[in-house]
Amino acid sequence: MLEQQLLNGLTLGSVYALFALGFTLIFGVLAVINLSHGAVFMVGSYAALFVVTHFAAPLWLGLIAAMLVSGFIGLGVDVLILKPLRARNAPHLIPMIATIGVTIILTNAIQGLFGVEVQRFPEEVLPAADFVVGEVHVRALEIGIVAIAFLLMALLFFALKKTQLGRALRAIAESPKTAALLGIDVEGLFHLTSFAAAALGGVAGVLIGLDFNAITPFMGQPILLKGVAVIVLGGMGDIRGALIGGLFLGFAEVFSKGYISSQIGDAVAFGLLFLILLIRPSGLFGRVLERKG
């Protein structure tokens, strides 16, 4: 039972982490809390569903479609909404409200296009295999989810630490003005970041839709809350923080449901989060706020 719950926690946690990664990336680079990330996540899963059901495409094509559709929506949000706000030096709350508007538009658009009923990936596209290791039942799907999540996180981590692009992004995170003075194309990298973050969100949407076999226009809201919790816990804007925070929340939820009571699963998870923040107010890896302050 313990091993099975560990696996449950790992699957859930790695999807949380992947979702939070895009969220924290936008905050780290653009210094904006983009509340449309939950809706972008939801649109990603619908994009994959559409490609898979209408063109009988394999699942990997669905994943790519989700990345592209979500990515371009993220880019659109940056170009059409965040950029004009940046140009006018809007205070921090304004982009938050504007992106809530994006959430409402996207949610209603999807409701109009696909209806409110719960949708599912057709059974044929799911990897059917499962293994039994000792007491633990592992579905191939779960291995795929954890693998994809960690692969994308590793890629992002590598890109940020080891490439010229990553160095430029980190410079922007430090100070966009200085970065611009150094000849970095700040606006271009803002667009790129928005695209990449949204694409990661889209993939997370597909993975959650696959794991739990349910896609609805409202699936973005609960995960958005969890995403906020994860990046607050991990430290705003910190990549490692999103990873550890996501896994922490996944495990905390599963274990409080499994070993304490399913009545208070979220209460325990969020209570623990509160306790950690009491001890470390800037999150596990959070130096960003101090630096900016």
Partner 1 sequence: MNILRKFLVILAGASLSCAACAADIKIGVAEALTGGAAQYGIPNRNGFQLAADEINAKGGVNGNRLQLVVEDEQGKKEEAINVFKKLIFQDKVLIIFGPTLSNSMFAAGPVANAAKTVAFGTSNTANGITDIGPYIFRNSVMESDVLPITIATAVKHYRIKKVAVIYGNDDAFTKSGYDVFKKVLEEQKIPVTTTETYVKGDVDFKAQLTKIKGGNPDAVVCSCLAEEAANIMLQARGLGIKVPFVGGNGFNSPKLFEISKLAGEGTFVGSPWANNNPAPANQHFVAAYKQKFGSEPNQFAAQAYDALNIAAAALQTLKLSGNLEADRQALRDALPRVSINGATGPFKFRPAAGKDGKPAGFDAEQKPFIYIVQGGKFTLYAGK
Residues of the shown chain interacting with partner 1 in the complex, contacts defined by CB under 8 A: 1, 4-5, 8, 11-12, 115-118, 120, 123, 130, 132, 137, 139, 208, 211-214, 216, 218-219, 222, 253-255, 257-259, 262-263, 265
17 or 236: whose CB is closer to partner 1?
17
- C-alpha–C-alpha distance, residues 175 and 223, integer Å: 30
| Shorter beta-carbon distance to partner 1: residue 48 or 168 | 48
Task: Render the burial of 224-256: b for 16+ CB within 10 Å, e for the rest.
Answer: bebbbbbbbbbbbbbbebbbbbbbbbbbbbbbb
- Taking the C-alpha atoms of 163, 157, 75 and 242 in order, what is their torsion angle to the nearest 10 degrees? -150
CB of 14 to partner 1, least distance (A): 13
Smallest distance from partner 1 to CB 130, Å? 7
Q: Which is nearer to partner 1, 131 or 274 (CB)?
A: 131
The residue (of 87 and 133) whose beta carbon lies closer to partner 1 is: 133
b/e burial code for range 171-192 (CB count within 10 A of at least 16 → b): bbbeebeebeeeebebeebbbb
8 Å CB contact between 156 and 26 = no
Q: Shortest approach of partner 1 to residue 222 CB, angstroms?
A: 7
Cβ of residue 142: shortest distance to partner 1, in angstroms? 9
Residues found in the chain: 293
DSSP 283: -
Find all residues with CB under 8 Å of 118, minimum gap 6, and list them: 214, 215, 216
- Of 60, 64, 65, 59, the closest CA to residue 47 belongs to 65
Q: How far is the CB of 261 from partner 1 (least distance, A)?
A: 8
Least distance in Å: CB of 216 to partner 1? 8
CB of 87 to partner 1, least distance (A): 39
Smaller CB distance to partner 1: residue 118 or 147? 118
Q: C-alpha distances in angstroms, 20 versus 160, 224, 227, 269, 282?
A: 16, 9, 5, 16, 16
Nearer to partner 1, 115 or 188 (CB): 115
- Of 31 and 213, which CB lies nearer to partner 1 in the complex structure? 213
Q: How far is the CB of 273 from partner 1 (least distance, A)?
A: 17
Residue corresponding to tokens 């490609």: 51
CB nearer to partner 1: pick between 124 and 290: 124
